[in-house]
Structure 1
Amino acid sequence: MPLNHPNKTASLAAWIILSCFLGIYHTAFGQSNKAQELYQQYLQTKDLRQKLTIVSDLAWEVHLSDSSRKYYEEAIELAKLLENPELHAQNLNRLGIAYRNIELQEESLKMYEEALKVAKSSGNHKEEAFALNNIAQIHYYQESYEDAMAYYEEAKDIFLKINNLDGLGYTYTGMSVVQTKIKNYQEALALINQAIEIREKLADVRQIFISKMNRGRIYQQMGDLELAERDLSQFMEYSLENDKRGAIYVLGELGNVYFKKKNLRKAEEVAAKAIEINEEIPASEAMITAYGLLYQIANFKGDTDAAKQYLDKLDEARQTFTEEKTKLYLSGIMVRKQREEIASLNREKELMEANQRFKSYVLYALLLMAFSFFLAFSVYYRSFKREKASSKMLKTKQEEIEAQTAELDKLNQEKDKIFSILAHDLKAPMDSLWAMVNLLNEQNLTKEEFEAYLPILSQSIGNNSILLENVLVWSRSQMNGIHAEISSCNLYALVESNINFFKTSQFYKGQNLQNFIPKNLEVEADRNMLDIVFRNLLTNALKFTDNGDMISISAEDSGRFYTISIADQGTGIPEANLEKLFGNQFFSTRGTHREKGSGLGLLLSKELIQKNKGDIWVESQMGYGSTFSFTLPKS
């Protein structure tokens, strides 16, 4: 089985010419920032002469994309309008290259010939020579090698005349490819050596290695495998560092050289390297060579199993290459069809414009007649529109007033509730404290009586301390004055601190408080807000449990969150009351020792948890206790 796909040699040669003449792989890739900058300038520039320069540069930056053709066409039209033959010829040449990239050789040739005509008429010898080079390439692709050489010779004479070494280097490279194709190897070597000499003078490292790779292919076809290996290896080393797309093609060529030298290990290594690069930069053509090489090696070794596997891979690569070529062909057909449609539309447009001029005269007369009617209708319509707008505005204002009234009613209800709390729940213990102080002053209270009243008074004041804190925080929240300061927080330490606090408080009735939170568990939350939440939920659990009942605090990993649960063995909550706990209204019931509550603690806890990007809920069954759970983001 042959190593190469039938179109492989031509494709690689095309890649060589394209790389040499354009140097596009390092300009089209990795220049997105420059392209974006040019695009912004293109959008903002109003001056046509500046716009012509910018759109020409932008088209070249995105040369390998489909959008480049649009920018080239715009640049060509602007160059015509501004009578700039230099950029006119340059963009025609480049648009031709864009068509050639999608295998529209006829369209490409038209652009090159027009570029040649413009360059000659304006005396632009540089663009004239490049147009000749481009035309020569088309003839090479069409296997018209004599014509290709004739155009290259003409381009060479011009570059020599104007002393343009860069263009001359491209010309010698193209001529070398043609001479190689027609097996004039000595002539091909002489030409490529001249190209290398020019590139070394210009210190153009990339083109030096490309020319050496081209020379290596000549040596390979001449049968000089040692020199072929030398040049192809040098290009491979350079391209692995600077241009992996070039490397993937040359690896197959180098593998063929190693195979012919019976160095199977090296051949397998470079084929494997090509397959590895293909994972990053797919190139089905190169895979045809790589798997074809591996198939031949397996056959040579008599490894039929491996040969069958590589043959399957080779068939897959060929299928992929065929599909890609088909897509490219269809894309070319679509572009050609679009151009034909545009030309047809332009012809139709000219006919329509002539017809439109006639219609315009008739239309002017009709418009004059309609204008007076329009004036009358406009007066009526404006009046109607103003009346409708006024009606709509009044309705909107009414809706706003109704919404504000409802909001004020709600705020008044909340204000009344707060005043009620302040008037009753806060005032009562203060009255008790005042009365006790008076009794002490009047010496009407014995030490034993004082010590008996002291726990009751302490519990009442403790209740009011938490209640007052809840009222203040809730009030700030309602006025949008509280914001979460998120930081990493040790949950175990926070829970332990609250347990220690409640064990010495009057809320404690001898319950069994257990902290099952892992000691190193960290969450992302506002520590102060979280402290208030734990205080409220533990107060609630202590309120509805008795001596010996267990209250446990635990945490469960829930993916991106931790679920924190406070479970008690208390009285439980009736099902009818569950939905009221976290509603918009204050709701409270008495505890096991007839303790009162404001209903504010759970409502505040819900708001604070939501400000910390969590959710809160409750599960309960009468007689079996309750579990309050909430989520917090992980640290």
Structure 2
Amino acid sequence: MFHHPFAHIFRAMLTLLICFGVCSVAYSISFDSDKAITIKTQDQETERERNQEYVLELNNKTAGLIEEGNLGDAKSIINDALSVSSVIDDDEGIAFAYSNLGNYFLSKGMADSVIAALNEPYKQLQHTSRAVNIGNLIATAHREKSSFSDALQIYQEVLEKARAEENQSMQAAIKQNIAGVYESLGDYPAAIDHYLESLSLAEQLGDSQTRAVVLENLGTLNLSEENYELAETYIKQALEINLDIGNPRYITGNYINLGIFYKSTGRFQEALESYQKALDLSNQLGNIVTKIQINYNIGVLHNEMGDPETALVYFQESLEMSRQNNITIGSFYNLSGMGDSYQNLENFSVAIQYFEDALEIAESLSQVEFTKSILNKLWLVHESDGNAVAALDYLKRYTSITDSIAATEREEALARQETLLNLRTERQNRELAEQALASQRNTLIRSLFLLMVVAIALVGLFIFYQKKNRMNRQLRERTVELQEVNSEKDKLLSILAHDLRNPLSGLQGVVYLIQEGALNNKDMDKVLKEVDHRLQHGITILSNYLQWAQNQKDGIEANIEPVNVKEIVDECLVGFRHSSQKKGVTIVVDIQENLAMLADKNMMQVILRNLISNSIKYVEEDGVVTVKAVKENNRVRLSVSDNGVGIPEQKKRDIFKSFSYTRIGTHGETGTGLGLSICKDFAEKQGGSISFVSESGEGTTFTVELMKADISEKSEVFAE
């Protein structure tokens, strides 16, 4: 019921809490009064009956606590019931107490403890009315451990015992559990058959409650298979029955599953309403485990709805209840959910702390799927936080555990297939055993032949699966490579369009003046020199990019070399002399003459042209643009500042995204929205970074930081 990639373990735990808690009450039928006892006085018999009543009271109280999800006091009461019932030699009381103990461990997700605690009592208490229930709990524990063969064997054993006792209610419950095994094995036809058999028994008994439980299970089966129409029908039928009965605990479960259905189909508001109804009922019942579950589900829902702040409120409440009641798995899910919320809020340091706490729990529980999930989240959050070293470490751990899990899953898949095959073979053998002895030899030969064919088919399918996976992996790798190449080509074309537009569009105006005869000889000479200058500059830009594109046709890579900062800035400023003079903008250069940095010269020219062009674009007339470089330890910080209009607060977050931010300059200048995205990409390709500081109405400063090259330096300040 926890709607989460690894929630099946917690979901199974909560399902057992509902189903088996009920069984522990429903099947408290009678006590064995016929067993041999020593002769006692009437007073002794009366005292023994009082003790039996006291044990029954303790056991019923424990069953109620487990049913309500209040596990804190349950264990001590179980121990009291076992002690007293053992002293008075009350086997029925002992059996009831062990049944409660099994339910307690299953509610806490401790399947191994169920098997260890109940195996021996199950053998010794076969004569009691609780033997079927205890065996049912042991089988369920095996099912939770994915020991499906053992689970089915014990389920069949207790089913036969229930038939012998003509206990149809227990038969219906066991058939549901057998259906759950087949569902886990992926044999959905067999699962549905057993669910329908259980439903038929419930209808014969007029047991509306069991009918509702079966319909709920059919709904969750179809929900997991994404058969949403059927899932909605079954869950709503179960809810309608429970509303008629008036059982708030089962209605709570119906609303939880209905919420999961609505969430799965994107109907978030309806999901929230269903969860809230379940939470209100759970508060009335005081069921702690269900409250933990619902608060977690609501937190996940708010995260998906884009409201991580609200999600944190529900996760925190669920976490506190989990810790107070020592429900470790609840703590894990909520810590992970809180990490997701803080990551959505881009508070990466806090998100990392919660993920690390969740990882500690996952490792303590030896749950590899949980560990894998958290390692993946830690890798991604460190990557988002810019901590490449930590991200790489978690990526390595994630890759290692993923490979291990993949190998285990292959083994488990083969084991499940083998289990299913064995189950089918056993059914066939039982049918064949009823036939005449004369047909046994031929039947055996056919069975062996069928087994061999299936084994060969399985091997063939496995080989085909491996080959298909390998081909798909190669295809994905090639697809990624082609996408990267296309992306780099698109970027190159965008750069050409962006950088050549201004110089070439300027020439258009000059040509127009010449055609109109608006220039005298003196002006004509001056203009032709400017035209020549602009053409030479445009040709230089185009030649540089074409040569660069030819050299980088297999993907744009930075050619890192020592670059004189002053020289590259001066080269870039040549192209802005006319536009800055026309607007009355003063460009100030404050750079040491021989200061050098490790960079790709072409990439740095692209970055500088974009930053200087933007500064000129967004300053008013007579504004000032300052290009400055300083050395800090082994780095060079190259900044372009202006006293222009600044960047609006709401645009700052997406400033470096392609096409995300562009606006008209102070004199109507336009842009593509690509420049700053390209600057960020090129800065990072050179092993550096780019950042900015801006106040609306006061100006903007963009700073590129790269490694310093080791050459001699001397200071010079140049103002244009």
User: TM-score, with normalisation over the residues of structure 1?
Assistant: 0.51
Specify the alignment match of 2:190 in structure 1: 107
1:96-495 to 2 correspondences below 5 Å: 96-240=179-323, 242-351=326-435
Distance in 2 separating the partners of 1:288 and 1:127: 38
**Given the superposition, is the C-alpha separation of residues 17 and 174 from structure 1 closer, same or farther in structure 2, using an over 3 Å criterion?**
farther
1:615-630 to 2 correspondences below 5 Å: none
Contact persistence 1:274–1:290 (CA under 8 A): yes
After superposition, the CA RMSD in angstroms is: 2.8
Specify the alignment match of 1:59 in structure 2: 139
Specify the alignment match of 1:512 in structure 2: none
Alpha-carbon displacement from aligned partner over 1:155-179 (angstroms, at most 9, x marks no partner): 0111111222221111111111111
Contact persistence 1:13–1:177 (CA under 8 A): no
Count of residue pairs the alignment pairs up: 349
Q: Quote how far apart the aligned CAs of 1:343 are.
A: 0.6
Contact persistence 1:42–1:54 (CA under 8 A): yes
The structure with the larger Rg is: 1
Alpha-carbon displacement from aligned partner over 1:566-592 (angstroms, at most 9, x marks no partner): xxxxxxxxxxxxxxxxxxxxxxxxxxx
Distance in 1 separating the partners of 2:260 and 2:7: 7
**Given the superposition, is the C-alpha separation of residues 280 and 17 from structure 1 closer, same or farther in structure 2, using an over 3 Å criterion?**
closer
SS in 2 for 1:262: coil
SS in 2 for 1:11: coil
Alpha-carbon displacement from aligned partner over 1:344-385 (angstroms, at most 9, x marks no partner): 1112211256879xxxxxxxxxxxxxxxxxxxxxxxxxxxxx
SS in 2 for 1:83: coil
**Given the superposition, is the C-alpha separation of residues 39 and 283 from structure 1 closer, same or farther in structure 2, using an over 3 Å criterion?**
closer
Moved more, 233-242 or 340-349: 233-242
Specify the alignment match of 1:39 in structure 2: 119
Distance in 1 separating the partners of 2:15 and 2:114: 21
What amino acid sits opposite 2:312 in the alignment?
E
Q: Quote how far apart the aligned CAs of 1:312 are.
A: 1.5
1:62-81 to 2 correspondences below 5 Å: 64-65=144-145, 66=147, 67-81=150-164
Q: Quote how far apart the aligned CAs of 1:259 are.
A: 0.7
SS in 1 for 2:5: helix
**Percent of aligned positions that are identical:** 21
Distance in 2 separating the partners of 1:16 and 1:227: 23
Unaligned 5+ residue runs, structure 1? 1-7, 357-635
Distance in 1 separating the partners of 2:164 and 2:281: 38
Alpha-carbon displacement from aligned partner over 1:404-461 (angstroms, at most 9, x marks no partner): xxxxxxxxxxxxxxxxxxxxxxxxxxxxxxxxxxxxxxxxxxxxxxxxxxxxxxxxxx
Alpha-carbon displacement from aligned partner over 1:371-405 (angstroms, at most 9, x marks no partner): xxxxxxxxxxxxxxxxxxxxxxxxxxxxxxxxxxx
**Given the superposition, is the C-alpha separation of residues 29 and 18 from structure 1 closer, same or farther in structure 2, using an over 3 Å criterion?**
closer
Contact persistence 2:106–2:141 (CA under 8 A): no
Q: Quote how far apart the aligned CAs of 1:58 are.
A: 4.1
Contact persistence 2:118–2:138 (CA under 8 A): yes
Specify the alignment match of 1:525 in structure 2: none
Distance in 2 separating the partners of 1:61 and 1:200: 29
Contact persistence 1:20–1:173 (CA under 8 A): no
Specify the alignment match of 1:20 in structure 2: 14
Distance in 1 separating the partners of 2:286 and 2:372: 35
Distance in 2 separating the partners of 1:178 and 1:322: 29
**Given the superposition, is the C-alpha separation of residues 102 and 233 from structure 1 closer, same or farther in structure 2, using an over 3 Å criterion?**
farther
Q: Quote how far apart the aligned CAs of 1:127 are.
A: 1.3
Distance in 1 separating the partners of 2:141 and 2:108: 6
**Given the superposition, is the C-alpha separation of residues 331 and 245 from structure 1 closer, same or farther in structure 2, using an over 3 Å criterion?**
farther
Q: Quote how far apart the aligned CAs of 1:319 are.
A: 2.3
Q: Quote how far apart the aligned CAs of 1:38 are.
A: 4.4
Distance in 1 separating the partners of 2:412 and 2:322: 26
User: TM-score, with normalisation over the residues of structure 2?
Assistant: 0.45
SS in 1 for 2:402: helix
Alpha-carbon displacement from aligned partner over 1:106-134 (angstroms, at most 9, x marks no partner): 43333222211221122111111111111
**Given the superposition, is the C-alpha separation of residues 213 and 17 from structure 1 closer, same or farther in structure 2, using an over 3 Å criterion?**
same
Alpha-carbon displacement from aligned partner over 1:215-235 (angstroms, at most 9, x marks no partner): 111111111111111112222
Distance in 1 separating the partners of 2:271 and 2:239: 15
**Given the superposition, is the C-alpha separation of residues 269 and 33 from structure 1 closer, same or farther in structure 2, using an over 3 Å criterion?**
closer
Q: Quote how far apart the aligned CAs of 1:286 are.
A: 2.6
**Given the superposition, is the C-alpha separation of residues 71 and 317 from structure 1 closer, same or farther in structure 2, using an over 3 Å criterion?**
same
**Given the superposition, is the C-alpha separation of residues 163 and 26 from structure 1 closer, same or farther in structure 2, using an over 3 Å criterion?**
same
